[in-house]
Structure 1
Amino acid sequence: MLLKVKVKPSSGRDEILVFKEPDYMEISLRAKPENNEANLALCKFLARVFEKSVDAIKIIQGKTSKRKVLSIEGLTEAELKERFSR
């Protein structure tokens, strides 16, 4: 599944700020946008949220931008909606 993400690095905590169906999220991260720290933190955070391995999450567009497109292996649109409809 492809997921569009807007990242807000250097924030107070790691959290999902906004989820808009079907595939958009805004996420704040404590990590700084230096030395790939925010990208690594984003992948680890989403791996915890979606209960996937870090290797299942790939940044396919926007590695140096706040707006990114990620590929998450093994995640369906139905699972994504179910997780955030609670």
Structure 2
Amino acid sequence: MADLFVRLQPGAKLDRIDGWEADAEGREVLRIRLRARPVEGEANAALVRYVAEVLGLPRSAVTLARGDRSRLKRLSVEGLDNDGLRRRLGEAGGER
């Protein structure tokens, strides 16, 4: 199982991955923009669906582990290790 840290920007014009950056603690964080609004968990649900789709995994393989009310999220991804996760994200990138 892999952990994926995400900085989410809800309410964007397009769903897209903007790339990697380091957070204040030095962790690598993936910047993702989504059209979903942060209302009643819509953005969180859209994030889980989007990441699962990008990784080519079933939606049940991706769960929100932390950050349901924060822009910084930690997702748990079953079926991939950290290297496999990084490789698939590198291949996917871009808008959807």
What SS does the aligned partner of 2:31 have?
Answer: strand
CA RMSD of aligned residues (A): 2.0
Over 6 Å off, 4+ runs: none
Q: CA deviation digits over 1:43-79, x for unaligned, max 9?
A: 1100110011111111111001110111000111221
CA contact (8 A) 1:57 1:73 kept: yes
Q: Among residues 33, 36, 41, which one is paired with 2:38 in the alignment?
A: 33
Higher relative contact order (CA 8 A, sep 6+): 2
Identical columns (%) = 33
Residue of structure 2 in register with 1:14 after alignment: 15
What SS does the aligned partner of 1:39 have?
Answer: helix
In structure 1, stretches of 5+ residues that fail to align are: none
- Give the deviation of 1:82 after TM superposition: 2.2
Please report the TM-score for the alignment, with normalisation by the length of structure 2. 0.80
Please report the TM-score for the alignment, with normalisation by the length of structure 1. 0.89
Matched pairs, number: 86
What SS does the aligned partner of 2:18 have?
Answer: strand
Q: Which amino acid aligns with 2:48?
A: C
Residue of structure 2 in register with 1:3 after alignment: 4
What SS does the aligned partner of 2:19 have?
Answer: strand
